[in-house]
Homo-oligomer: A and B are copies of this chain.
């Protein structure tokens, strides 16, 4: 098998561009064995797989030198396998609207990835990210998400108020989380048949418009002294509390 040994190779250069959102058309890169396996088991189409010799036994792969892998990789210690996978169609479909997590302007990639992973664990029907949230297909979100994008629909760049209107039209109860205690404690909420849980920005929370459109405003009562919870921890507490 031939091996790509130059970082200037056009396929390598084009692949590396996919880390940046503006360069992505219909594919993105995932790194490591676990995400390669998840991609293979999913509905996603695999466009190409770059590997070092260690993974040369896998079918339909493109061999690259260690140096080229290091150039292409976003990891400090590359595992030696990077897969180019098709992006899902970013569509808000009604089937999403049963048990939905909405991230409104959540900016930390680690928080975004962790919340999508938790929504997957809790059996949510999908995750929607409004415009202004971290890019789902960036390396750091992909690392913390651990393949959950292959398990449930994740839709990004959604216009928040348009989405909330669609939810209202579909009789979905919108539960928005606030940072103040001038709202109901989450433990008193009886899980609605169809609901969407909105988590807001790390610093400023949900917007005033969102608070005005929500059916239920909820918070987590904190008996201790910390001023707030990490948003991903708060989302975990709420999602599992709403899961029967």
A136 to nearest B CB, angstroms?
16
Q: Does A50 contact B (CB under 8 A)?
A: no
Closest to A151 in B: B225
Q: Which of A123-170 contact B (CB under 8 A)?
A: 123-124, 144, 146, 148, 151-152
**Residue pair A230, B123 in contact (C-beta under 8 Å):** no
Closest to A144 in B: B230
A142 to nearest B CB, angstroms?
14
Number of chain copies forming the complex: 2
Given known A-B contacts A233-B232, A236-B233, A240-B220, A226 and B110 have beta carbons under 8 A apart: no
Closest to A230 in B: B114
**Residue pair A121, B229 in contact (C-beta under 8 Å):** yes
Closest to A120 in B: B226
User: Hey, what's the 0/1 contact readout for A206-244 against B, CB within 8 Å counting as 1?
Assistant: 000000000000001011111111101111110011010
Q: Does A46 contact B (CB under 8 A)?
A: no
Could you write out 26 A-B pairs with CB less than 8 Å apart?
A110-B110, A114-B230, A114-B233, A118-B226, A118-B229, A118-B230, A119-B224, A120-B225, A121-B222, A121-B223, A121-B224, A121-B225, A121-B226, A123-B222, A124-B224, A146-B226, A151-B226, A152-B224, A220-B240, A223-B243, A233-B233, A233-B236, A236-B237, A237-B237, A237-B240, A240-B241
